[in-house]
Amino acid sequence: MKELDLREVKVVTGSDVGQAVREGAEAIRVQERAIITPSAREMIESARLKVIEGGEAAAAGSSSGAYAAAGTPVFGAPSPVTRQYSSPQELFRSPEATAIKEEIIRVGRKLWERQYVDGNGGNITYRITDDYVISTPTMCSKGDLTLEDFSLVDMEGRQVAGERPRSSEVLLHLEIFKAVPEARAGLHCHPPHATAYAITGSVPPRCVIPEHEVFIGTVVLTPYETPGTKAFAETVVPYARKHNTILLANHGVICWADTVTHAEWLAEVVDTYCRTLILAGHLGAPLSHIPEGKTADLLEMKKKLGLPDARFGLKECQLCDQPEFPSGIACPVEGSSAAAQALSQEELENVIRAITDQVMDKLEEK
C-alpha cells in the first residue's frame, strides 16, 4: 500500500492531503499527536485514504488523528522536552527550544499579517519545562522575529538566557502558567474587533456561533491595570483556570493553550466572532441564538477536545442565561463604565416609579 509520510508536520492540512492524492497514495502516515484540520479530514474521507498513526492503521472515517486518538484530546500537548539538560542555557539552545522558537516566529508573522499587532505590540511565550519559559523580546515587531531574538525566563520572570531583554509583560503569562498547569503557550495581542469590546467595558454575548462556543465560550473582561506591572498580571488569576481567552480592559486579549499555534487559533476565533457581531449589529435585526438544548451538545464536544469552560456542570437553562441589552451585540460587565451607563440609579428609580403607578392605576380601576 502506497503511503505519504507526514510525520514531520504537526498540523495536517488540506494541502498535505491533496499532495497524497496527487501522488496516488492510499494512506498517510502522521505523528501520534498530529492535528488534522476539518478540510483535511473531508478530503481524506472523500479520497478514501487511510490514516496510519503510531504504526496502527485506522479508517479515515473513524476517530483517528487529533480528534480521538485513544481518547486523547486535541488540546493537551505535553512538553516537547524528554531529556534533562545540564543548564538553562543548554535547554535554551536545544533542538526542542529551536522548534518552539520557529513556531513562535511563524505565529508572530501571522499576527502581524492579520493586523492583530502593530509596532512592537503583543508578546508570545511557551513554557518549555515546568521551570522555564521561552519569551519574545521587548521592543520588537512580531512580524520580524528571528531565532536570536528570544529569551528564557524562570517562573518568577528572571531572565536566565538570551541576549535581548524579555517582554515587559511576561509576568502576565507566568500568572496563567502558575494557575493552569495545562497551559503551555501564552499569546497576547490587540485584535481590533475584540479590543473594541475591551475598551467599551463589554463582552460579546454567548450562544450565537457554534465554533466560538466550542473553542472559547464565555468571554470575561479583567479590570484595568497598568501593563507590565505585577498588578496587571494578577488581573487574570481569577479567570484563567476556566477561560482560555480573556479580554484585558482598555488593552487587548490574552489567550492560552497547549501550543503556540492553538493559542493563535483562539485569537482568530474571538476576533472573528466579535467582528461578525459588530457587522450583525448594523443590520438592524435581533441576533438569532443557538436553540435551547443544543448548547449542551457543544459543551460535550468541548470536553472531548480538552478545552476549559466555566459552564461545565451547569444546568441546561443556565448555559446561555444572560441579560438582554438594546444593541444585542454587547453585554456590559458589572463594575465597568459601560455597565454603569446601561441604566443609572435615577433611571432605574424612574422605571420602578412608572411601573408602580401603572399597577396602582389598574387597581383603582377595579
Give per-residue pLDDT as tens, 200-233: 999 999 999 999 999 999 999 999 999 999 999 9
Domains of the chain, first to last: 3-71 (no CATH), 88-281 (3.40.225.10)
pLDDT at residue 324 in the model: 52
pLDDT tens digits along 152-193: 999 999 999 999 999 999 999 999 999 999 999 999 999 999
pLDDT at residue 110 in the model: 98
pLDDT at residue 321 in the model: 64
pTM for the structure as a whole: 0.73
pLDDT at residue 195 in the model: 98
Strand partners, 58: 51
At a CB cut-off of 8 Å and minimum separation 6, what does 87 contact?
none
Listed as own residue / partner, the contacts of 276-285 with beta carbons closer than 8 Å and 24 or more positions apart are 276/209, 277/204, 277/205, 277/208, 277/329, 277/330, 278/193, 278/196, 278/329, 280/329, 281/327, 281/328, 281/329
pLDDT at residue 62 in the model: 32
Contact 69, 115 (CB under 8 A): no
**Sign, Cα dihedral of 119, 170, 200, 216:** positive
Distance CA 209, CA 77 (A): 26
pLDDT at residue 338 in the model: 47
pLDDT at residue 67 in the model: 27
Contact 172, 233 (CB under 8 A): yes
Whether residue 145 has pLDDT greater than 80: yes
Distance CA 200, CA 204 (A): 11
pLDDT at residue 333 in the model: 76
Percentage of the chain beyond pLDDT 70 is 86
Of 60-69, 100-109, 230-239, 332-341, the poorest mean pLDDT is in: 60-69
pLDDT at residue 350 in the model: 67
**Residue of 73, 68, 15 whose CA lies nearest to 44:** 15
Task: Output the nine-digit C-alpha cell for 268.
Answer: 482568530
Distance CA 316, CA 207 (A): 12
Whether residue 307 has pLDDT greater than 70: yes
